Chains A and B, each alone.
Chain A
């Protein structure tokens, strides 16, 4: 089992939207030693449920256990372990206004983004793309001295 490869997986969980349901999920991950790379959660419109998108990693056996253990929680309606999915993540980045803004804007456009706010000293840029491409973007913009970076975590839908 030690030799099994760890792979990145996206798991979506539909839960009853009630107090402490998020801690049920995160407790399960920490208690059983599973990884959470990112986690997003929001209510599903016109329902009593919320949807969580969890990016995790582990061997095939571990991922299988994660989905089974999640499903075992009383508050969980459904668990999807995605194979074929559309996955997006947003990042907001704060740059000094002294940087070359047309360069920054052009880069953002390449990642489905743009400058969304301009202040006295800083501008804020937004990009939306696949998590891997967000990694690339954040590597590329290092030279423009980003002051603050925030990532949303991934959301995903099965194709």
Chain B
């Protein structure tokens, strides 16, 4: 059929099964918004800032496992979205982001709201397109969705000049894609898998090192199966929380800078690292030369460039984690779980020595208690988003995750302001689950305008603001490494968070006791509208354990021992 470029965008979205688009209109994208007005195939959610649109699409994608879609205008609309694109790129989140561009005749003339969008998005997307002819749009959009979700997922940006959205051309979406230059390698080398299973059978102290790639590959339940069949203990990265259930006996905990003592010690003592969908991030490894020093390394990843980038892989396998893990399960018959009994005991001993815990030794509430309490009250019924900082680490350490896609956080880029819009996307994708956003008094103000989106569209995100009147994580570093010079991190002057939420039409609570918190959370769940629960917490609480930046995993700063009551 012959339709406009603008209409093609709508038709492509519908053909891809898109049900929600997050966005913000503007001059260069108006033709497409006109078509959005006329259609009923999907819902458009108007965020109040383009960055929030991208994060909402990310939250939607991470919670649903589908491609997230966002739409923005040219110039400032696009530049506002860049942080979101970079965030999605770092965390391998499948997105298609369509932006308007000035008409072709104005490109290069410094036109109103013109910016070289593809020039800017190039280093922070998996791929991008500037569409110069409407006839190319069906193919480009189809490629964009395919590239976003296949291989190592990532954001794809499609920039469309205004005159191209008005141009009429043939639309046929039913075409075979012919991407000669892009063929992700999904099947692991069978001979290498045999060798890997031999290495595992020989190892005395093997350790699963589970990463976010497992969630992207929708392989969490296969990994659970493999872990249980082999009896080999596992550590999770920040992005892998929920791959194993919190109560799984073989799950040690999160490893890395704020990983548990047992997880980091296990990684330091293991003789065989079995890395699945991981990338050996510096926040995980600490000092590289000391990381898993005595171990051989198995590394399974869909992205060949991730393998041996930082840590040399003795057994590299390029492939989709789900395929490879299924192969490994089939060949795991000769592995006897009893063999690792003493290794599991060693790890239990580490955990008894320095368990992941906290002390309730101040008048004010402890932030860790809040996270634990939400876990006790809501557990599996909630999806958990976070912003970035101390609250994020406490949420990762103490929330009882039970399933993949339950945990939505900004890992690689560490984007403050991610949590609230992401939680809006999460709630949109999973309306039956409660959407919690753990945030801090610093982070929440970075996309606080989303209160309006949540109120307008009746998206009942519950924001739990762990308020310590500090940019807590930076304050922690200043306390520990900058001789307590708390430069520009004291947030004593703050808005009234309750009134702030109410001003937009949401509800708010300020709580200082456990009883007040329980009441506020239960009440918020019942009222089912967007909420701020400001929890006044201990100001100087530090996230522990901590591996100082660049230090070895086994050299952790630990929680001071206290007599437990």
Shortest CB-to-CB span from B147 to chain A, Å, is: 6
Are the CB atoms of A72 and B304 closer together than 8 Å?
yes
* A134 adjacent to chain B (CB < 8 Å): no
Measured between alpha carbons, how far is A72 from B308 in the docked complex, in Å? 15
For B180, what are the chain A residues with a Cβ–Cβ distance below 8 Å? 77
Are the CB atoms of A20 and B303 closer together than 8 Å?
no
Are the CB atoms of B122 and A23 closer together than 8 Å?
yes
Measured between alpha carbons, how far is A74 from B150 in the docked complex, in Å? 12
The digit string for A1-29, where 1 denotes a CB below 8 A from any CB of B, is: 10000000000000110011001100100
* A99 adjacent to chain B (CB < 8 Å): no
For B305, what are the chain A residues with a Cβ–Cβ distance below 8 Å? 65, 68-69, 71-72
Are the CB atoms of A19 and B130 closer together than 8 Å?
yes
Shortest CB-to-CB span from B125 to chain A, Å, is: 10
Measured between alpha carbons, how far is A24 from B303 in the docked complex, in Å? 18
The digit string for A27-40, where 1 denotes a CB below 8 A from any CB of B, is: 10001000000000
Shortest CB-to-CB span from A89 to chain B, Å, is: 28
Shortest CB-to-CB span from A145 to chain B, Å, is: 42
Measured between alpha carbons, how far is A27 from B120 in the docked complex, in Å? 10
Q: In B109-130, which residues have CB < 8 Å from any A CB?
A: 118-119, 122-123, 126-127, 130
- A27-B122 CB under 8 A given contacts A16-B181, A77-B180, A77-B181: yes
Are the CB atoms of A74 and B181 closer together than 8 Å?
yes
For A75, what are the chain B residues with a Cβ–Cβ distance below 8 Å? 181
Are the CB atoms of B118 and A20 closer together than 8 Å?
yes
Q: In B122-162, which residues have CB < 8 Å from any A CB?
A: 122-123, 126-127, 130, 132, 147
* A64 adjacent to chain B (CB < 8 Å): yes
Q: In B195-223, which residues have CB < 8 Å from any A CB?
A: none
Shortest CB-to-CB span from A152 to chain B, Å, is: 27
Are the CB atoms of B309 and A65 closer together than 8 Å?
yes
* A154 adjacent to chain B (CB < 8 Å): no
* A76 adjacent to chain B (CB < 8 Å): yes
Are the CB atoms of B123 and A27 closer together than 8 Å?
yes
For B37, what are the chain A residues with a Cβ–Cβ distance below 8 Å? none
Contact of B119 among A23, A65, A69, A74 (CB under 8 A): A23
Measured between alpha carbons, how far is A68 from B288 in the docked complex, in Å? 21
Shortest CB-to-CB span from A71 to chain B, Å, is: 7
For B303, what are the chain A residues with a Cβ–Cβ distance below 8 Å? 72
Measured between alpha carbons, how far is A77 from B180 in the docked complex, in Å? 7
Measured between alpha carbons, how far is A27 from B127 in the docked complex, in Å? 13
For B126, what are the chain A residues with a Cβ–Cβ distance below 8 Å? 74
The digit string for B444-463, where 1 denotes a CB below 8 A from any CB of A, is: 00000000000000000000
- A31-B123 CB under 8 A given contacts A71-B304, A74-B182: yes
* A61 adjacent to chain B (CB < 8 Å): yes
For A74, what are the chain B residues with a Cβ–Cβ distance below 8 Å? 126-127, 147, 179, 181-182
For A16, what are the chain B residues with a Cβ–Cβ distance below 8 Å? 181
Measured between alpha carbons, how far is A69 from B182 in the docked complex, in Å? 13
Shortest CB-to-CB span from B294 to chain A, Å, is: 19
CB pairs A–B below 8 angstroms (12 shown): A16-B181, A19-B132, A20-B122, A20-B130, A61-B308, A68-B304, A69-B305, A71-B304, A71-B305, A72-B304, A74-B126, A77-B180
Having A20-B119, A72-B305, one finds 17 other A-B pairs with CB under 8 Å, namely A16-B181, A19-B132, A20-B118, A20-B122, A20-B130, A23-B119, A24-B122, A27-B123, A65-B305, A68-B309, A69-B305, A71-B305, A74-B179, A74-B181, A74-B182, A75-B181, A76-B181
Which 10 pairs of residues, A with B, have the shortest CB-CB distance? A68-B305, A74-B127, A77-B181, A31-B123, A74-B182, A72-B305, A69-B305, A68-B304, A27-B122, A27-B123
